[in-house]
Structure 1
Amino acid sequence: MQRNQARELWVKPVPELKYLNADNVSRYRLIMRYFYENHSKLRYWLKPEEVFSGVMHYGLLDDYTEDQCQRDLEVLTEWKNLTSRHDGGRAQSIEEYLRKRFRYQMTPYAIEIERMLQTLEQLQGYGGSLEPALLERIAGYIAQIRQAEGQFAAGAAHQLWRDLQSAFRQLHESASDYLASLQTARVEELMLTDQFLIFKDTLTQYLRDFVRGLQQYGVHVEAMFRQTPQTVWQSFLMALVEDEKRLPMFDNPLADDERMALHQEEWQVLEQWFVGSATEASDVLYLERQTKDTIARVVRYALAIQERHQVGVSRRRELESLGLRFLELDNPEEAHKLGAYAFGLYQTRHFQGEGDASSDAADFSMWDEKPIVRRLRSRSRGQRKSGGTESIRSTRVQRQEAAKAILEAKKREATLVKTWIDMKHLRMSELPTLSPEQRILLLQWIGRCMVNQSKLARTPDGLEIRLILPENGERTRLQFTDGALEVPDFELFVEEVASS
């Protein structure tokens, strides 16, 4: 009931925000800021003369009077930014008492509004950070809940929940803000400058450390969620509700079923962030992908800057100096040595064939051999063909041999598939020595299943393959005719289904 009432507020106006855009916004803002500063100092109830003195102390208003301040306080009270109470204790006479002197205090809405405004004033860019330590803390909190199995001391579940929510919120918001800051136009301009090369390596290492944290702790948390019965998490939420019932709440306390429903929704959000759902991947994978894309973008910008520096660089002086050195040499032997130092070895793919040696002497140099003359054709796309005709080369024999090899491979694969269909259930640790062809097919099936959230895949041949992960992460060693491979002890269920 109370949650439904809260939802009704979503479509109603908020009078507490009127003072931010009213005609006398400067006066209202200063009054509310003065109240907020005193609220931070634990001074809650203020008299009108104190408010007037504090506002004038800012030195931002001219021709402001106490009567105007009194009217502004009444307007803010009408807008529910302030609440008032009669201050008759210090009246010196009946007339003063009848004037209804008031003291004023901020409402909870006004406190949050001023807190938000103060945060916005200090905001510069997106901020945020990437902290793998938060992932480690979240994994530790989840492990504590799992190990407790519903047995919590008084107040322990509430404290653990606050720590978990704080770390999760900080991780989500800080990572989102930091990656968003790298997408701004200002950062894009910075990445195009030469100064970006100075901290490129530091930024890349920072992002890679966060990716490693996601891969290490994200998978660990996902495994705990998948392997732990829901009754363990339900017991923790029940202990949390009991702890919250012990807290003295005066403002609209929630019923037990409403508290439980609220925490179940919050827990579901936390679980989906690490595990995902049947239709969507987890936010951990999305965050990892976005971070990797940022790393790739940083590297691309750095390479573009380096290439820009290299474009247009003239090597005329270097080549002139090298040419003068060649001219100063007296014999070909020295020229060959200098050429070897300057240019290194030639790429052998540019040479073709072997010539007939004119001498078998061991000390006969290759430079004394006669050149091998080869006719080179132009590689230009605009080269015109000669007017002569050329015969058409037949590749029928090669195509027949290739088709025969493919059909034979398909036949061997079909025989293997039929054998595994008859077995229906394959466990890695129970398989005999396999051939390389069997290894390729088996890894293809495992790869198809691993990329799906349901660990279920269908092949073009009409096979349905279901992969079962080992419960405790057991591993086994597959033996092949050409080596061995260590893999998790998967189970595969192979079934032939009718094609749709």
Structure 2
Amino acid sequence: MPNIGPEHLKPLSEFKYLNAENVSRYRLIMRVFYENHMKLRYWLRPLDVHGAVLHTGLIQDYTLEQCEQDLQVLHEWGNLECQQDKAKSTSIEEFKKKRFRYQMTAAAVEIERLLESLKRVQGYGGELDAGPLETILQRLRDVRDRGTQMPPAEAFALWKELQDRFRKLHENAVDYYAQISSTKAEALMQTAAFLTFKEDLRRYLQRFALGLQQFGAHVEGMLRALPAETVEAFLERVTRGEMEIPNLEDARDFDERIAAHREEWASFVAWFMGSDSDESEVVKLERATKEAIGRVVRQALALQEQARAGVSRRRDLAYLAQWFMRLDSIEDAHRLGAVVFGLYVPRHFQGEPPRSTDSADCSMWEETPLFRALSPKTRGPRQRLVISPVRDRAVQKAKALEAWRASQASARGLERRWLREGTFAISDYERLELEDRELLLQWISRALARPNHRFRHAEGFQIRVELPPKGDRHHISFPDGEMEMPNFRFHIRREGP
């Protein structure tokens, strides 16, 4: 199952400043904080921020009061941390003014880094490199050989390298296949320029496919051979090595950390080994590589055929015509035509024509021809359709309406007969008709669908169905058989005047 929880449904207020009403002011302020953050200047006063904004010259008529309001809004959205600046207070009045200084939150720093990286994005990027697979295989061998005796710090470093290589392999491959499947790549494959690097692309994809086949199977075999005790001991040492690093923002205990590492290891194993309901990502990646190679080859062949189609064959045809003219007999011309042009595309018609003779020595060319009419496939005039007159169905409609009214009257009469019964139980009857069964079951269904087991009929009656005691059932005969059902009791009374 994907790692999706309720936290993924909540809005992120930290991103509001990117599309707010005063987006230019907010983004400029956050950029000032980010530039100072990279220079190890974390806490800034409103006066410092206001001066830096005016120094850029991008915003005119920007007052200190507006700057303080913007800083407070960013603090409410979770982009800035606020702390009272007590060092600058020289009197009680200044202390009561609550001058603050601000610092970027961790989420705001990551957002600015994301915006910085988005400037350099020109495509999907990515690459196909089987090298991380070889490194992953080596690290798994270390886990197998020394996983239970490895120092915690070394185990944590190995775990980080293993996860980094795994993430790099997956993300680069996904991005690269997205790149060659984009509309820009599709447009490039339609041009003649694609033929210049077609072979390089094919070799590149083929080399990656061979790397997947070579190292992917080894990694899968290594994971299957790893004992569960070794993996558990290694994850415990990884967790202890992680907890040796002081981290003020991560307050998780040992059990929470090792549970997170177990989930990461399970995802890592499923990527290479798959599950009972789905195949591994290595197999999917290998299949995608082979499909990409086939698509590249097919597109290149199509472009080459298209290029050949535009070449004039006048000289070749003129030489061939002279060759035909030099032949002495029609038989030789037939042989040459068969060699040059081959067989024409035949058309087969299925049928059993009447034969004029049953002799096996009679050739098909001596038989009487069979004529069949073929419908044209052009957009020309089609066969004229037979127009049928509109028939008067008034009599049939009148009969159907009369039958419907009779059935409605019979249903109303049946309902009124049962409504006059007042209070009755299923056990009061030994045999009923099919219409009675349909009506009673309908009433039971409507009543049991309500909490008080009662409903109001269109005729102004209130119908309540009483549940029978446990085990109280009754057999009723119908024209189509017998039916056993609980012994429901009906209470019918008229409401209103």
Fold match (TM-score > 0.5): yes
Aligned to 1:30: 28
Residue type at the aligned position of 2:301: L
Alpha carbons of 1:309 and 1:210: their partners in 2 closer, same or farther (altered >3 Å)? same
Residue type at the aligned position of 1:262: A
Aligned to 2:124: 126
Q: How does 1:387-466 map to 2 (within 5 A)?
A: 388-389=356-357
Aligned to 2:459: none
In structure 1, how many angstroms separate the alpha carbons of the residues matched to 2:311 and 2:148?
70
Alpha carbons of 1:380 and 1:255: their partners in 2 closer, same or farther (altered >3 Å)? closer
In structure 2, how many angstroms separate the alpha carbons of the residues matched to 1:389 and 1:171?
76
In structure 1, how many angstroms separate the alpha carbons of the residues matched to 2:225 and 2:189?
44
C-alpha deviation, 1:252, in angstroms: 4.1
In structure 1, how many angstroms separate the alpha carbons of the residues matched to 2:310 and 2:344?
31
C-alpha deviation, 1:220, in angstroms: 0.5
Q: 1:262 is matched with which residue: 251, 260, 263?
A: 260
Residue type at the aligned position of 1:289: R
Alpha carbons of 1:58 and 1:130: their partners in 2 closer, same or farther (altered >3 Å)? farther
Residue type at the aligned position of 2:232: Q
Residue type at the aligned position of 2:238: L
Residue type at the aligned position of 1:223: G
Q: 1:166 is matched with which residue: 143, 164, 167?
A: 164
In structure 2, how many angstroms separate the alpha carbons of the residues matched to 1:277 and 1:390?
67
In structure 1, how many angstroms separate the alpha carbons of the residues matched to 2:141 and 2:120?
37
Superposition TM-score, scaled by structure 1 size: 0.64
Aligned to 1:218: 216
In structure 2, how many angstroms separate the alpha carbons of the residues matched to 1:390 and 1:305?
54
Aligned to 1:340: none
Secondary structure in 2 matching 1:155: helix
Aligned to 1:65: 63
Q: 2:14 is matched with which residue: 11, 16, 27?
A: 16
In structure 1, how many angstroms separate the alpha carbons of the residues matched to 2:344 and 2:186?
46
Q: Does 1:146 align with 2:157?
A: no
Q: 1:112 is matched with which residue: 101, 110, 113?
A: 110
Deviations 1:189-246 (A, max 9, x none): 1100000001111111111111011001100001111122111111111111121222
Aligned to 2:231: 233
Are 2:128 and 2:173, in contact at CA under 8 Å, matched by a contact in 1?
yes
Alpha carbons of 1:131 and 1:390: their partners in 2 closer, same or farther (altered >3 Å)? farther
Aligned to 2:241: 243
C-alpha deviation, 1:99, in angstroms: 3.3
Q: How does 1:32-431 map to 2 (within 5 A)?
A: 32-91=30-89, 95-320=93-318, 379-381=346-348, 388-389=356-357
Alpha carbons of 1:389 and 1:143: their partners in 2 closer, same or farther (altered >3 Å)? farther
Alpha carbons of 1:382 and 1:103: their partners in 2 closer, same or farther (altered >3 Å)? same
C-alpha deviation, 1:323, in angstroms: 6.3
In structure 1, how many angstroms separate the alpha carbons of the residues matched to 2:241 and 2:43?
33
In structure 2, how many angstroms separate the alpha carbons of the residues matched to 1:388 and 1:53?
109
Are 2:128 and 2:172, in contact at CA under 8 Å, matched by a contact in 1?
yes
Q: CA RMSD in A?
A: 3.5
More moved, 138-147 vs 61-70 = 61-70
Residue type at the aligned position of 1:218: G
More moved, 242-251 vs 276-285 = 242-251
Q: Displaced runs of 4+ in structure 1, greater than 3 A? A: 6-13, 90-99, 318-327, 376-393
Percentage identity across aligned positions?
Answer: 46
In structure 2, how many angstroms separate the alpha carbons of the residues matched to 1:49 and 1:392?
112
Superposition TM-score, scaled by structure 2 size: 0.64
In structure 1, how many angstroms separate the alpha carbons of the residues matched to 2:160 and 2:339?
66
Aligned to 1:353: none
Structure 1 unaligned regions, length at least 5: 337-342, 351-375, 394-500
Deviations 1:54-103 (A, max 9, x none): 22333332322222112111111122211122223245665544433221
In structure 2, how many angstroms separate the alpha carbons of the residues matched to 1:377 and 1:48?
86
Residue type at the aligned position of 1:217: F
Are 2:147 and 2:155, in contact at CA under 8 Å, matched by a contact in 1?
no
Secondary structure in 2 matching 1:85: strand
